[in-house]
Amino acid sequence: MTKNGIWNVKIIVKTPQGIIPVGELLFDFNGNLIDVPTKESLLNILKTKLNEERVIIKVRAKDLPEIRKVVKDVHVL
């Protein structure tokens, strides 16, 4: 918790190469959400990270088309 009573909770993606932070949730002292990143924002950050380095992610088959819309250079193993 920060000095002003805000909790910062990291959102991470776990890959075989390590953990990649993609955002954070902010909660007030009472546990109420203050700020939540959008799905698009998280996917854009992931896209940037994927372009910086190659990572392997495990996703459900039904989610792959959505990821391919954002991350163009996706290879299925």
Residues linked to residue 9 through DSSP beta bridges, in sequence order: 25
pLDDT of 17: 58
Confidence band of 35 (pLDDT split at 50, 70, 90)? very high
Per-residue pLDDT at 42 exceeds 80: yes
Q: From CA 11, how far away is CA 9, in angstroms rounded? A: 7
pLDDT of 69: 82
